[in-house]
Amino acid sequence: MAFAPRGPEASFFQVLDQHRASLLVALRKGGREPAGGGTHLATRFEDSVGLHMVSHCTTRKIKSDSPKSVKTFALILKILSMIYKLVQSNIYATKRDIYYTDSQLFGNQTVVDNIINDISCMLKVPRRSLHILSTSKGLIAGNLRYIEEDGTKVNCACTTAVAVPSNVQGIQNLITDAKFLLIVEKDATFQRLLDDSFCTKMSPCIMVTGKGVPDLNTRLLVKKLWDTFHIPIFTLVDADPHGIEIMCIYKYGSMAMSFEAHNLTVPAIRWLGLLPSDIKRLNIPKGTLIPLTKQDQMKLDSILKRPYITCQPFWRKEMEIMADSKMKAEIQALTFLSSDYLSRVYLPNKLKFGGWI
């Protein structure tokens, strides 16, 4: 089914189509990235999955007769009983709903979040199988239609965004003719691209933002779109360690959710921008750059030591450029060139000529 409006001529997407063809060939061969591996605490890195748990990982015991863990044990039992009722009744609740059933007992939301993650890990089932959902914060726009679990028909638009559904696994009948999916780190950049009609000009395409560090539902949606359509997926993040970290979460996962890596990671994701090398190539003035803080440098060093970076020599080179310059840049630095340089020149050229790594 065709979507309107249409964007560039078919020839614009030639390199993108070639990239998609190479991704499909790699999928048929059973892998998505160059070979690589390594271990880190209770997780193992595999190029086709990302960070995931190993069977011989370290465990901890919580005893009912131990003064140190008796309260945690009681809270686990309480939440387990609530999960049992949810599953039996075939209804869903959010983590926030769980917390407010007895906020004084739980103390704070983090306690509930950690226990739910522990239960999910202990039972080796995704959180949605416990009938517990997260409140979505992500947004989606572009050429996409789907039906939510309750029958609601959602028709995403190129000019306005809709919220990522809270039960991603329940959506069905997804339809798109998008040539690519662009993950945008920050909501402000996402909204600016909408205001500049980027989705319309680059149609057919899809844009998603997790508004910073992505929530579970945004990651699930990106994974579902990849599994369903196998279209190229790119990230647009700040040229700083925090932006790189966010990109790594989408692509390779996180330690905290490594037990759900198979449902969350998309190793086929590529880094579109903002690349540290772009800063020099585009002659962005030094006055628009920001010095790396000590925390930034520590974060950058940590990422460079991760096992998956051995599979990404071009990523490593970009991060070494950042480390050598001791400077970082936000996407907004491109506005020095022109107010709409990002949507009018930078992204179209990157997409047309294959400027991703």
- pLDDT tens-place values along the chain, 357 residues long: 445 556 788 889 999 999 999 999 988 887 544 333 333 334 555 655 544 444 555 566 776 667 777 888 889 999 999 999 999 998 888 888 999 898 889 999 999 988 998 898 888 887 778 988 877 899 999 999 999 988 999 999 888 999 999 889 889 999 999 999 999 999 999 999 999 999 999 999 999 999 999 998 999 999 999 999 999 999 999 999 999 999 999 999 876 666 676 778 999 999 999 999 999 999 999 889 999 999 999 999 999 999 889 889 999 999 999 999 999 999 999 999 999 999 999 999 999 999 999
Asked if residue 96 belongs to a domain, the reply is: yes
Residue that terminates a domain, selected from 100, 115, 133: 133
| Number of independent structural domains in the chain | 2
Identify whether residues 214 and 295 lie together within a single domain: yes
- 154, 159, 164, 168 alpha-carbon torsion, rounded to 10°: 40
Asked if residue 6 belongs to a domain, the reply is: no
Distance CA 274, CA 356 (A): 10
Residue 38, strand partner residues: 45
Asked if residue 33 belongs to a domain, the reply is: no
Helices and strands in the chain: count of H runs, count of E runs: 15, 16
Domain around 80? 12-26+40-133
pLDDT tens for residues 218-249? 999 999 999 999 999 999 999 999 999 999 99
Q: What are phi and psi of 243, to 5 degrees?
A: -65, -40
Distance CA 267, CA 325 (A): 28
Identify whether residues 91 and 158 lie together within a single domain: no
pLDDT tens for residues 34-43? 333 333 334 5
Which are the catalytic amino acids? Answer: 100
Identify whether residues 172 and 45 lie together within a single domain: no
Asked if residue 32 belongs to a domain, the reply is: no
Identify whether residues 124 and 144 lie together within a single domain: no
Q: What is the DSSP letter of 212?
A: S
Asked if residue 237 belongs to a domain, the reply is: yes
Identify whether residues 235 and 162 lie together within a single domain: yes
Asked if residue 217 belongs to a domain, the reply is: yes
Residue that terminates a domain, selected from 84, 104, 133: 133
Residue that terminates a domain, selected from 133, 168, 195: 133
